Amino acid sequence: MTIQPPPSGARLLRRLVPNENHDALLGDLCEEYQRDRSLRWYRAQILAAIVVGSLKNVRRHWLLALRAIVIGAATLVAYFQVFGIMVLNKVHWIRLPGLAGFFVMASLFFLAGFAVSGWAIVRFDRRYGIALALPFAAVMTALSFADIARTLWTPHSLATVEMFFTLLVKPLFPVSVLAGGYAATRRARLA
Amino acid sequence: MAGGSSLGTADLMILLVLMRLGDDAYGVTIARDIEETTRRPVALASVYATLDRLVERGLATSELGEPTAERGGRAKKYFRITGKGLRAVRAAKQSLVKLWKDLPQLA
């Protein structure tokens, strides 16, 4: 009897990078896993395959990647225009449980917005899996960290809540984009 | 060396490994050979990315083997260097040797 690696890795790779043929690579990973490799090694190889495959897709389809950034930005604007105004109009009757409650709700509202933008990017063109969400997530990472650097440089200019928001929640924006993108990818079947 | 056949370090390394391994060159053996030579861990996915690029450029060819139970029923993908690949390796060697000669401290 042969010891097979957990199928979740292969499933995740096929789900996130669907347009490539991974059979030879997965066969090699399987062979190495049976020989002497650890589960940690296997997972690292799957992660590397997802990153390499996605970056290859972005390089090959850079126009689609640019379009994805536009789609992400447009979705964010629409989300905050529609839901932001809706929330502001209703805020007088929403009973906010103190400052901490407001902080949590505002954070969830923002994170949901970024997840929706990631979802929209991938849903718009599902051929390349998570790849097209990566450039937008990269832009969001750059903007978030620029903001964090600005906050750390001039900490007195911000109120405590805003500072917490910048330091704790903004780094999660790109994660939300990728989580939303993941939700929009097609579930893969194992061959 | 012609611009179209210029090789990066990874390209050159993999072409040399293909030459060393001959008929037994597939993902696992190629990655293992590079790991043993460079003493650094290698991501199989990046080996395949380089191999795919070499095949696209006509410097290597690929061929599927038989699926085996040990590999979860998946076939091996064997790679072989082409004549064009061999010429590119020779040209790269000549260029590197020329550069090397002018640096006695590296001889």
pLDDT score at A21: 84
pLDDT score at B1: 44
CB contact under 8 A, B28 and A32: yes
Distances (CA, A) of A66 to A16, A29, A58: 19, 33, 9
**Sole residue written with tokens 């989580």:** A179
Contacts with B27 from chain A: Cβ below 8 Å = 24-25, 27-28
pLDDT score at A72: 97
Evaluate if residue A188 carries a pLDDT over 70: no
pTM assigned to the model: 0.85
Evaluate if residue A157 carries a pLDDT over 70: no
Q: Which residue of B has its CA nearest to A50?
A: B45
pLDDT score at A158: 61
Torsion of CA B50, B54, B57, B61, to 10 degrees: -140
Q: What is the pLDDT along chain B (107 residues), one digit of tens a residue?
A: 444 568 899 999 999 999 999 999 999 999 999 999 999 999 999 999 999 999 999 999 999 998 888 888 999 999 999 999 999 999 999 998 888 887 877 76
Report for A9-23, A88-102, A153-167: range of highest mean pLDDT: A9-23
Contacts with B68 from chain A: Cβ below 8 Å = 27
Average pLDDT rounded to a whole number, residues A34-58: 94
Residues of chain A numbered 28-67 and touching chain B (CB < 8 Å): 28-32, 34, 44-45, 48-49, 51-53, 56
pLDDT score at B103: 83
- Token pair listed for A140: 């969001």
Residue range A106-141, pLDDT digits in tens: 889 999 999 999 999 999 999 999 999 999 999 999
pLDDT score at B107: 60
pLDDT score at B5: 60
Q: How far apart are CA A93 and CA A108, in angstroms?
A: 19
Q: How far apart are CA A154 and CA A141, in angstroms?
A: 20
- Token pair listed for A125: 């063109």
Size of interface A-B (CB pairs under 8 A): 65
Q: Is A4 left (phi over 0), alpha (psi -120 to 50) or beta?
A: beta
* Chain A nearest C-alpha distance from B50 (Å): 11
| DSSP state string for A149-179 | HHHHHSGGGS-HHHHHIIIIIGGGHHHHHHH
Evaluate if residue A190 carries a pLDDT over 60: no
**Sole residue written with tokens 């929330």:** A87
Residue range A87-105, pLDDT digits in tens: 767 666 566 667 777 788 8
ipTM for the whole complex:
0.87
pLDDT score at A1: 58
* Chain A nearest C-alpha distance from B75 (Å): 6
Which helix (DSSP H) or strand (DSSP E) does residue B75 occupy?
strand B74-81
Q: How far apart are CA B70 and CA B39, in angstroms?
A: 26
What percent of chain A stands above pLDDT 90?
63
pLDDT score at B2: 42
Is B64 in the A-facing interface, judged by CB distances under 8 Å? yes
Identify any residues that bridge with B25 across adjacent strands, giving them in sequence order: none
Collapse the DSSP code of A190 into the 3-class scheme (helix H, G, I; strand E, B; otherwise coil) and give the result: coil
pLDDT score at A139: 96
CB contact under 8 A, A27 and B74: yes
pLDDT score at A4: 86
CB-side neighbour CA atoms (13 Å) of A36: 1
